[in-house]
């Protein structure tokens, strides 16, 4: 055997022995370095919180994925132990201080505010206005949408809301005496879906006229919501999954399959808007533009009006416009059906205002003058908080002070509407539906803590639309002479939000809000 041959054989043997050991050693050094940095040298190393959360994002992932959206409650425990400012993962702080809320969620001219990229990563909405990191780019993307959602602009939309509310009323009345269980949240999803589709696309989606209230539309958003935290914790996963064959995808990830179906609908809507833009320029005729037509005709640069970006924006509008209203209406309806006293008080108050129904349905401006109806809507929004997951902001230009702590610039800081709405010092017995707490000379701090649509330059665009839908639909369904609904095999656990995914859902085995019409 020659010397060179022996050397090569030995080299191969040593390579087989050394490579696994080297890999383990390098991996160990890497994780040790990361741990040391995060515990002692990170800009937020000084802030209190469990060391395991500071070391790794896997701690949060466990509660998000294995425990199914329970990290909110773990964060609440941290605040009880460590105080109002807590480090909840290697990168982010959670703040539980109602007075700081308006310091974090500020107007655009108060302080440059950026979104933390990781807070919505992996969901496929990176190019929407809501997920835009840059303060300046967010303003540009939000600008063409904002005028559509002002109270004045929505006055004409309230006619459509009233029409859809009347259709739902008639459909429910037809179940009278049939002993048929109706999934009320499916009906509410169809109601809100029809409205947002008509606003965006100007063509009827006919979800309300579907025999099952278009169950698929409700399931779209529930499924996406349930699995959203998987993709938030593992943002690269979605990129691999979407490349799978459709047959495999529908079994492996129904949420992604549903997202792709929703993408087809959204892309079609944007395509129609582009065609309408061309036709309008040729015919020189004027008509009321849809929201999608406003988007494609805006003065944003061409890159901002690409089909892919506007499709993401359209998908977001469909989801936000359907799920949030349906969920809140479910909360309001359950508690009114479960509480005869509250239901009677509401009927007595709205009786005169709704006396001309169906020939005339009042606008929101009339309905919000009714104190008990307003209390019912606000209490439904409070106790049924749809977005309980913390909303995260960063300030790139300055440090901020909170509870004696100096928080470095560019630090992701999150606050949860759940903590604001469930504060027992502000809302005694916060888990109970008590509209009366909003009547008379109530504690003004309740208004401070009432933040269902967030605040500041990145607050929810659809706040006015949601209020109009909630006021009008509640008045139609619970007026004297409305559908005589009663709960069917449904209790509070079927509507109480206990799983806090990208949006909040009740227990996983809930059969939903079911009613029968007498």
Does residue 278 have a pLDDT over 90?
no
Q: What is the pLDDT of residue 23?
A: 78
Residue range 427-459, pLDDT digits in tens:
999 999 999 999 999 999 999 999 999 999 999
- Asked whether the predicted pLDDT for residue 234 surpasses 90, the reply is yes
Domain boundaries, the chain: 8-42, 60-517
- What does the pLDDT read at residue 13? 52
Q: Is residue 460 annotated as involved in ligand binding?
A: yes
Cα angle 318, 323, 329; round to 5: 135
Instruction: Compare 25 and 307 and report the one with higher pLDDT.
Output: 307
CB contact burial 233-267 (16+ within 10 A = b; e otherwise):
bebeebeebeeeeeeebeeebbbbbbbeebbebbb
Query: Which pLDDT value is given to residue 71?
Result: 98
Lowest mean pLDDT among 8-12, 142-146, 373-377: 8-12
User: In sequence order, what are the residues at sequence separation of 6 or more whose Cβ sits closer than 8 angstroms to the Cβ of residue 149?
Assistant: 461, 462, 463, 464, 465
Residue 515 CB neighbour total at 10 angstroms: 24
- For the structural domain made of 60-517, what CATH number should be given? 1.10.630.10
User: Does a cis peptide bond (omega within 30 degrees of 0) precede residue 358?
Assistant: yes
Among residues 413, 412, 423, the alpha carbon closest in space to that of 448 is found at: 423
Can you tell me the distance from the alpha carbon of 403 to that of 411, in angstroms, rounded to the nearest whole number? 16
**Predicted confidence (pLDDT) per residue in 378-389, tens digit:** 999 999 999 999
pLDDT, greater one: 330 or 288:
330
Tokens of 443: 């504690």
Share of the chain above pLDDT 70, in %: 95
The closest of 512, 475, 508 to 491, measured between CA atoms, is 512
Contact 370, 363 (CB under 8 A): no
Is 322:185 a contact under the CB 8 Å cutoff? no
Average pLDDT value for residue range 489-507? 97
| Per-residue pLDDT band at 10 (split at 50, 70, 90) | low
Q: Are 85 and 405 in contact (CB under 8 A)?
A: yes
């Amino acid at each position: 055997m020659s010397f060179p041959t022996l050397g090569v054989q030995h080299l191969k043997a040593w390579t087989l022995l050394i490579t696994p050991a080297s890999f383990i050693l390098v991996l160990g050094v890497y994780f040790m370095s990361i741990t040391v940095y995060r515990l002692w040298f990170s800009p937020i190393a000084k802030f209190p919180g469990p060391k395991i959360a500071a070391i790794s994002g896997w701690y949060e992932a466990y509660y998000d994925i294995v425990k199914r959206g329970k990290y909110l409650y773990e964060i609440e425990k941290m605040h009880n132990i460590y105080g109002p400012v807590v480090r909840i993962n290697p990168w982010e702080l959670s703040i539980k201080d109602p007075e700081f809320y308006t310091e974090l969620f500020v107007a655009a001219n108060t302080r440059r505010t950026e979104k933390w990229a990781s807070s919505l990563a992996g969901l496929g909405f990176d190019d929407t206005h809501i997920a835009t990191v840059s303060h300046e780019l967010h303003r540009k993307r939000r600008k063409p949408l904002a005028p559509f959602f002002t109270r004045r602009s929505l006055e004409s939309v309230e006619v459509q809301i009233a029409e859809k509310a009347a259709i739902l009323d008639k459909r429910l009345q037809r179940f009278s005496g049939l002993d048929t269980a109706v999934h009320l949240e499916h009906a509410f999803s169809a109601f809100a879906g029809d409205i947002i589709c008509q606003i965006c696309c100007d063509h009827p989606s006919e979800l309300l006229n579907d025999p099952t209230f278009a169950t698929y539309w409700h399931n779209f958003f529930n499924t996406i919501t349930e699995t959203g935290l998987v993709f938030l914790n593992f943002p690269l996963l979605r990129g691999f999954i979407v490349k799978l064959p459709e047959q495999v995808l529908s079994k492996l990830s129904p949420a992604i399959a549903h997202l792709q179906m929703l993408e087809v609908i959204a892309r079609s809507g944007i395509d129609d808007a582009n065609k309408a833009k061309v036709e309008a320029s040729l015919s020189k005729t004027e008509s009321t533009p849809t929201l999608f037509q406003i988007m494609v005709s805006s003065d944003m640069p061409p890159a901002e009006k690409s089909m892919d970006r506007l499709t993401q924006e359209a998908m977001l509008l469909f989801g936000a416009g359907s799920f949030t209203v349906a969920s809140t209406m479910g909360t309001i309806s359950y508690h009114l059906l479960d509480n005869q006293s509250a239901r009677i008080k509401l009927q007595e108050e709205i009786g005169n205002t709704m006396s001309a129904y169906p020939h005339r349905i009042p606008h929101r401006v009339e309905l919000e003058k009714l104190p008990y109806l307003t209390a019912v809507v606000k209490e439904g929004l409070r106790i049924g908080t749809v977005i309980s997951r913390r909303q995260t902001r960063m300030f790139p230009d300055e440090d901020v002070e909170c509870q004696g702590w100096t928080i470095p610039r560019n630090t992701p800081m999150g606050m949860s509407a759940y903590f604001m709405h469930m504060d027992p010092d502000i809302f005694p017995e916060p888990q109970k539906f008590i509209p009366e707490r909003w009547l008379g000379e109530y504690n003004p701090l309740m208004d401070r803590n009432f933040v269902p649509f967030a605040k500041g330059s990145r607050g929810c665009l659809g706040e006015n639309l949601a209020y109009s839908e909630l006021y009008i639909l509640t008045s139609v369904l619970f007026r004297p002479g409305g559908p005589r609904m009663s709960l069917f095999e449904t209790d509070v656990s079927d509507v109480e939000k206990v799983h806090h995914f990208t949006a909040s859902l009740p227990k996983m085995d809930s059969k939903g809000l079911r009613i029968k019409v007498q």
